[in-house]
Structure 1
Amino acid sequence: MQPRNMSMSGVVDLAAVKAAQEAKAKAEQARAEAARQGGGAPGAVSPASLVIDVDEAGFEHEVLQRSAEVPVVIDFWAEWCEPCKQLSPLLERLAQEYGGRFLLAKIDVDANQMLMQQFGVQGIPAVFAVVAGQALPLFQGAAPEAQIRQTLDQLIQVGEERFGLTGLVVDPEAEGQQAPEPAEVPAGPYDALLEAAVRALDAGDLAGAVQAYKNVLSDDPGNTEAKLGLAQAELLQRVQGLDPQQVRKDAADRPADVEAQIAAADLDLVGGHVEDAFGRLIDAVKRTAGDDRDAARVRLLELFEVVGSDDPRVTTARTALARVLF
């Protein structure tokens, strides 16, 4: 059992943990406000740029790299394909309606045979997605709109919950459009629970902090502050009691041992060596396959949550991970 009064001050700066939680929450609020008001938001895109034509030369930049910040839906089509003429306009309309929650990339199969082969497209229209560099099939043929919406909603949920992708900020003023008023979400009574979690962290009660964050997430699974706090508290739990020298020796002696690399990456991050932690796990993903590769990838995504998706080091690492995975 975790000693309630154990000091963690030598392991991590708990003030920085709390500051990171607050910074991420404020960033999410700023993005939402920018989307509501339109214009002037850093990195904002125009509605027209939510639908792009992609060829083989631009695939890495326009799809792989962009998939580190937003799910990219790929529409494989051709001019002679009659069902494509029904599906493509629908996907384009939904891309505008969803307002930056996904990016639509249109690929003409006649001009991009290599991409068609790489994705294993057997017939068109065919719709795939790339999320954080990982390609997955969505559906084939001109599916009903309700089914497409359900698929897109699931894709966006996976992007948010597993990869921390919050989408793009859209500037409607670029084309003189009015931004839709977002639905007001009533604030949940979670302030006391979140404050209790922070107090538990300050006291070194990691088990208490983990439980407090889980209590919030059981009622509000999308609570950004709770997700970040839980990831940080669980990281501290994992490194507690480890012998840093032995962990680093094991990682150096056994470069192919994924568990050794994962433990060393946890220590790297707690010690403030963010790039080292990310680089170690990206290398592990690159060298391995199967369950080992998935374990390294999942831990890397968990560490992304600890640092925060708005951190530029996370963006850089997501791009590197995408290159390794694809």
Structure 2
Amino acid sequence: MSTGNGFLDLSGGENTGAGDNQIVDTTTASFAQDVIEPSKEVPVLVDFWAPWCGPCRQLGPLLEKVVRESKGAIRLVKMNIDEHPAIAGQLGVQSIPAVFAFVGGRPVDGFMGALPESEIKAFVDRLPKGEGAPADPVEQAMEMAREAENSGENERAMQVYAAILQRVPEHGEARVALAGLLWDAGEKEQATAMIADLPDDSDLEGLAMLKKRIALEEEVAALGDPDALFRRLETNPDDHQARCDLAAIENARGNRMEAADHLLEIIRRDRDWRDGEARTQLLTFFEAWGPKEPAVAKARRKLSSLLFA
């Protein structure tokens, strides 16, 4: 998840009373004294919570336990957003529990929701320790968004990318990444609009690949009924145009190996059809799918066998 100013939030915060120096309650007026200054020496977790929040009550005791077990290595500061909403608003908190980690006087990481104890500990272990300037919070948020995306947590990744764009609207990499996830989620008009003003010659990672995906899928709308195309092939197995159109349809449906197999069959039957159009289209698919797609490696092996057998 992410916060409105570009920092990733993962999950956190409940409030129970705290009486020691390691765990304190704060107010808007004392926030700098309780959070900013101490964070220049040790990481400070800020737990934004409210009395009515059930997940906050789940998270609070776990946060306190992890902080106490750190034996002074980290501090926990709690802020009731019903009584003191200003700081939460500045940080873009839209739901609670929300936990932010401050290091060197700045927020460097965060999470939202009631995480289990093991994940809280892992979060704390990732924090920069000691005095000194922390890493760029926007880049930290980008890294956390990438990790979420690589782990299949696409909704969480989208929230983080969106938060980064709230803080840095011109962040091209975040725009491309969010547009790709929106496209996958079926929000195609929104995804297309997000990258519409990005130049084709941009070196932004993933932009060319995403634009090729969009172009391919837009072409499918004019290709007709796949059942009719299959019937054409039953009548004439050498109807390469029908097979090529089916490849485009299967690609749009996400059936990548099926799409590749249609083009490979054309190459097997007539590799020079339309000056090698089937091979050209297959290579276009490879570029759009990306090198990590398993279908690419499998189809490349089949293509090599056909071309060099």
Q: TM-score, normalised by structure 1?
A: 0.36
Whose RCO is larger (CA < 8 A, sep 6+)? 1
Q: TM-score, normalised by structure 2?
A: 0.38
More helix by share: 1
